[in-house]
Structure 1
């Protein structure tokens, strides 16, 4: 079973809100899903993204593929960086404390 992390559309006409979900790639866009890991509201300025960081990273480590839009959202929120740092710790490139410090430094610089 191929697993994808993608957007599920909810909301009114012309006022979309999306759930970020983990779903089987064969299921329809607004159909069954395995787990809801966040929400995305593009109607606000700036757009609001709420994510469960641990769940997002764990699904990426398990091999779930992201759609282009979700990959962009993950990049902006730091999920992809967190996954990258955890893989570096697993390979022995640096310690857990150093990866936490690197992520905190990035968060302070790019997230207000």
Structure 2
């Protein structure tokens, strides 16, 4: 079973809002999903994203593949950086405290 992290369209005509969901790759776009990770609204300026960070990183560590759009959203919100740092902790390259320090320095630099 191949698991994807992708967008599920909801909302009105011409005003879509998306749920970021984990789903089997064989299920339809708006069909059955495993878990909802957050929402994405492209109509606000800047586009608003609400994510469950820990669950998103957990699914990525398990091997779920994000689509291109979700990968871009994860990159902008720091989910991919967090996953990368956790893999470094898992391999023993640096400690958990170093992971926290690096992530918080990135967060201060790129978030308002």
TM bin, normalised by shorter chain, reads over 0.9
Instruction: Report the Cα distance in structure 2 between the residues aligned to 1:58 and 1:42, rounded to whole angstroms.
Output: 25
**Residue in 2 aligned with 1:10?**
10
Per-residue deviation at 1:74?
Answer: 0.1
Q: CA deviation at 1:36?
A: 0.1
Query: Partners of 2:37 and 2:67 in 1: how far apart?
Result: 14
Match of 2:91? 91
Q: Counterparts of 1:83 and 1:38 in 2: how far apart (Å)?
A: 17
Deviations along 1:43-92, one digit per CA (max 9) or x if unpaired, are 10100000000000000000000000000000000000000000000001
Q: Residue 28 of structure 1 aligns with which residue?
A: 28
Shift of 1:100: 0.3
Q: Which runs of 4+ in 1 moved over 3 A?
A: none
Report the Cα distance in structure 2 between the residues aligned to 1:44 and 1:90, rounded to whole angstroms. 37
- Unaligned 5+ residue runs, structure 2? none
Distance 1:111 1:55 in 2: 21
CA RMSD of aligned residues (A): 0.3
Q: CA deviation at 1:37?
A: 0.3
How far apart, in 1, do the equivalents of 2:92 and 2:55 lie?
23
Q: How far, CA to CA, are the matches of 1:101 and 1:38 in structure 2?
A: 25
The 5-angstrom pairing of residues 1-112 of structure 1 reads 1-112=1-112
- Note the alpha carbon deviations across 1:85-110, whole angstroms, 9 max, x for none: 00000001000000000000000000
Q: What is the alpha-carbon distance in structure 2 between the residues aligned to residue 45 and residue 98 of structure 1?
A: 34
Partners of 1:5 and 1:104 lie apart in 2 by 25
Gap runs ≥5 in structure 1: none
